[in-house]
Chain A
Amino acid sequence: MEQIIQIDEALANIDKLVNNIERVIRGKHRQIQFVLTALLAKGHVLMEDNPGTGKTVMAKTLAQSIASRHSEHGVNFKRIQFTPDLLPMDLLGSHIYDEDQKEFIFKKGPLFCNVLLADEINRASPKVQSALLECMAENQITIGETTFPLEKLFFTIATQNPVEMEGTYPLPAAQLDRFYIKLTFGYVDEDTELDIYKDYLGIQNNLQHIEQVLSMEEILFLQEEASKVYVHDEIIATARNIVWDTRRHPDITLGASTRSGITLLKCLKAYALVKGRTFVTEDDLQQLVGPVLDHRLIYRNRDAKHKALPSILDKELSRLSKLKLQATV
């Protein structure tokens, strides 16, 4: 069972990537780690916040750090700006009549890529949203009678504006479930903001000259390593307890599904690796339960949205902190 993780190499790769991103994104260390977690867990990430907080820049920087416009080893990066009048075929591609061959050939849409930045996803119509989300779930596209598999590495970074804003089509719970992690960005702290203002020219310059630091193989290697991270039985049991508690909680009308429990475990492993560990700890739980589970739950009221999940988490952490585990020394 014991799998050897090449931790040093993995860590070096992760550090490279993080440092590269941080050349552009300041004061968002946590968010960067979460995005990497989603990437390593073979999932997708949804970022939600007000315009201008750096969502798009973040996505672009990440994509460019691993994508290449020249090399074959680099990943393929596409960006789609979602608008209300966007149609599914704009994403998937369409059949075009080829004069020379006298036949319809399939022109692949932007979805056929490795890293997709779906900007302002909730501005598109539900039809388009569901087309994208189906791809994310199935990792394949079916048009007419033909089924086209997507790339082995397919990572979506979606951004959306807060649901209350005008001109948005909020994503239904079933579709939100496709995203492993939902992040809120928030504003940076005062000092960092001052830094950004002072150095905005440099940042812009950096953004334009982002270099690819990881190859496709290295990403796949990291994904492979992440799946080997050791999860203690007690952590698994805790994940189960948390999922159950969300179903029992009086202030939560829709609790977490079994799939979200599995997602949580996948993310925990990836996050542990991002943190430079080969095992999952209570800290990982504490950090991840919110971003992974929060957007899958439906609360009774706004008050519950702030209190329910932390209280469930605290109960389990309190249990774990007093737990005496038999160490395998």
Chain B
Amino acid sequence: MKAIKKYSWKKVFAQLLLLGLPTVALAVYMLWDVNQFYNILRNDYIKQSIFFASGLGAATVFYGYRFRFLPTAVILFAGLYFAYQYINRTAFGEFDTFFITIQFFIFCILFSIGWLAGYGFSRSRYFTVFWAVFLLSAQIVIVSKITDIKATTLINAFIPIMAYAVYIIYTAELIRNMNDDDKFFGWFLVKRMLGFAVVLALMLLGVVNIFQRDFAGIEKEWGNAKGNYDKNKSNSENMTKENKDGTIGNKDQTKLTGNLNKGKRLVFVARLDNFFRDGKTPNPLYFTAYYYTRFDTLTQTFEIDPQMPENDLFRPNPSKIPLYFAKTDSTVIKNTRATKSRKVVTTDVYKVLLSPDEYIAPATAFFCQPLPVPNEYKDQFKSAYRAKMWVSDLNSAYFIYNPAGNQMLEEFQQQRFDVLRSIKTQDYTPLDKKFMQYYTYMPNDEEYAKIRSLAAEITKDAKTPVDKMIAIRNYFLGKDEFGQPLFKYSDNPGIPGLPSANKLTYFLLENRKGYCAYFAGATLFLLRSLGIPSRVAAGFLTVDRSSKNPGWYWFYEDQAHAWVQVYFPGYGWVDFDTTVPDANTQQSPQPDGTPPLNMQQAYLVADGNVVSVDTVTKKVVMDVNQLLYHDESYAVKNPERVEFDASVATVSRDTGTVRLSALTKDMHITAASFAEALKELKPGSNDSMRSILKKVPNPVPVDEIKIIDPEAEAKQKKKEQAIQTQPVDWMNVLWLTLIVIGGLALLVIITPYLIWQYLYAKAKGAKDPSAKAYSSYRAALYYTNQLGYSRTNQSPEQFARHIDQSFGTGFVPFSRIYQKLKYSGMPLTATEQETVNSFIVPFVKNVREKIPFKTRFSRFVNIYNTIQYFQQPKIG
């Protein structure tokens, strides 16, 4: 143990400042992170960092004096160990023992790590590499404890470590290679560090900026979609999504996961005007929100495709339509291509938790008319609308329920199957090719081939498409050899969350447990493999539980559902549900609420913008754009200014009832009047809006004012969604990166050759003797330099002689002539000019012959030679 003289306080100081401080900073950060996961550390990260820092600092200074590492470290660690043993033995009392020994143990560990780090920084060259790897592994362990992985988590966890790793390796090497005799030691370090910081900052910012979108994608992939964020389980799924404001809607995509979360809250209530032929027995229909026509095999997700052929999805936003005004889309009806057994059915939907923006109705809806909620129900229901649908007679929620006992239902089932049996497989052939291809598409790989063969086996006895469908349903309802149900309903099928596993085949062939999305998805591909066009529908299943109020249905969160729709030419899309009943069904709370029955008839509805509001006299002046009067619609180009008496009016917006003072200038509102006084004032056939407004009492009493909030917010939301769903083609990114890197590498490799070709061409092409001499000399110098014969420290004469000795060229005479030309101020003689003119070509030829191609090639590729050629040598 002797101290060798080479101690340098400058280096030790630089190590402490530039290596030690950042390391301690990182240690604080990591310890803080660790403290959140390990109770044993008792959340005292500042103290722990000081332990670490003291070990680091002490070792850096100590080993700066060139002490030997092994003996000193062994003595130190042995000392710590025995001290620990001693404390362990002497400390008594349960609390004492725990507290002191654990504290001391942590101190020992951290101090030792710090000590090792300090030694490494000051003495061991490769230490920084190990150290960086060590910290990175430690951070991976910490991150693996975090269950809710988000993009920010990853960035926060790894960016500092990465930056630190690069920094520490670079800086340690820099300090090691410094000559501390240098006067400018400090300044030199500062310059290098600044440059490094700028480069690192630019790179990191660039990476984070460019890939932020991709990070968000990863976040979506790993940590469940936004708004459906589940705090306890990462591999779970909801059939509904909960918006920020607490309302609920159907998700616009459904993923197959290992877990389904369900709630029991009331979502909406609906009156459906659909009865069987007897006119008494209600025929419930499933309420559809979306159609999933596409299945992303990579993420195992069902997705909406706005480009689906014959788009028959009507999606208005009820909160943006003025009260009583209707929005209709007749193309939807055309696109159903259903002519047989169809009728128009009406439903009134009263929303409770369902988002005001959502529109949900049985297939195929084409009409939406927002209605006011009657005053006495305003607490219970937020908003309401009326929807009209082009409904198939053959459609019914009674498909899965066993109609046993109910003669009429059994008959109905039989009847509708008989009708559908008239559709044969060949009836699909005249259909549009694109349509058929789209709705019978399935991925073409081994996993799906298994589904295909299973489908063929199940339906081998069935002739018509509907029989095949029934066969599939029966397969799901079938029993195994022990009499147990083959398939079970389970919210927690425990299907592996690996993205590569094909969850559908796993479900169909092995696990046979799942929730509705699995049954629907499996049925979809079974059908498609048989060439029957089908799609998945998402929405709410309808259960008829009310004998008191026929036609009224209550919808709870756990009724969110997915099922299959099958296309029959002429009859259109028909719902089929193959999900098996849940063996341990927990009954939803029985609907005990009274339905909002007394809907009032509005005689006058005005839609327009607020001009002024008087909250004292309760008068509202507005510019009316459109008017409904006794169900007649009137619209004008120039808004009409009308005064309304709002003394009895209820003011509401999507979120519920508000005060009159909530109205502000230019707000878009709809005012409705139920006033009896208007009942008798029937409009004439040639009345205009102006004449009607003259007829009615002034001010007009209104009962209902609905605020229509501007769409800016909705647009914003849409934009966010658009950004989120933009797919990143990773292969393209990869190829592009490879091409760019390859291009750059190629450029670097051929640069020396290109420069040489340029110089050589110039040397050969020069006419003027002086230019010829100059460019020949330059070319020769470059060529020999590139081949590893650099002129460094040699005069032209010496260099020329050296080259001549190696290659037997006539460089010396040429060099002399060139020197003469350069410095003598005298013209060349004829023979000298001849020498100059006939120099470069034989010279290059000679050199080329002496060096084998392989050597020449490898040296020419070396860009460092080129850099060295162009670099001005530094004094030093």
Contact = CB atoms under 8 A, between A and B. Distances in A.
Contact of B796 (A230, A232, A283, A327): A283
Interface string A137-163: 000000000000000000000000000
B875 A286 contact: no
Contacts of A287: 795
Interface string A207-235: 00000000000000000000000101011
A98 to B, nearest CB: 58
B793 A314 contact: yes
Interface in B750-797: 769-770, 773-774, 778, 781, 791-797
B483 interface: no
B822 interface: yes
A141 B875 CA distance: 43
Contacts of B778: 322
A278 B770 contact: no
Interface residues of B, number: 31
Contacts of B6: none
B873 interface: yes
Contacts of A96: none
A65 B182 CA distance: 51
A234 B798 contact: no
Contact of A249 (B796, B797, B826, B875): B875
A185 interface: no
A283 B781 contact: no
Contacts of A280: 823
B825 interface: yes
Contacts of B806: none
Nearest to A329: B827
B876 interface: yes
A273 to B, nearest CB: 13
A311 B825 contact: no
Contacts of A328: 825-827
Interface centre among A280, A310, A319, A329 (most CB of B within 10 A): A329
Nearest to A251: B876
Contacts of B42: none
B819 interface: yes
Contacts of B769: 327, 329
Contact of B824 (A230, A313, A321): A230
A281 B823 contact: yes
A73 to B, nearest CB: 34
Interface centre among A281, A317, A322, A323 (most CB of B within 10 A): A281
B774 A324 contact: yes
Given A282-B795, A329-B770, A315 B822 contact: no
B798 A283 contact: yes
A283 B819 contact: yes
A283 B819 CA distance: 9
Contacts of B820: 277, 279, 281
A250 interface: yes
B183 interface: yes
A318 B791 contact: yes
B873 to A, nearest CB: 5
A46 B773 CA distance: 40
B828 interface: yes
Contact of A311 (B182, B773, B796, B873): B873
A326 interface: yes
Interface in B308-351: none
B831 interface: no
B766 to A, nearest CB: 12
Contact of B825 (A279, A318, A323, A324): A279
A285 interface: yes
Given A287-B795, A317-B794, A324-B774, 9 more contacts: A248-B875, A249-B875, A279-B826, A281-B820, A281-B823, A314-B873, A322-B781, A325-B822, A329-B827
27 contacts: A232-B824, A234-B823, A249-B875, A277-B820, A279-B823, A279-B824, A282-B796, A282-B819, A282-B823, A283-B796, A283-B798, A283-B819, A286-B794, A315-B873, A318-B873, A319-B872, A322-B781, A324-B774, A325-B774, A327-B770, A327-B827, A328-B825, A328-B826, A328-B827, A329-B769, A329-B821, A329-B828
Interface of A: 230, 232, 234-235, 245, 248-250, 277-283, 285-287, 307-308, 310-315, 317-319, 321-329
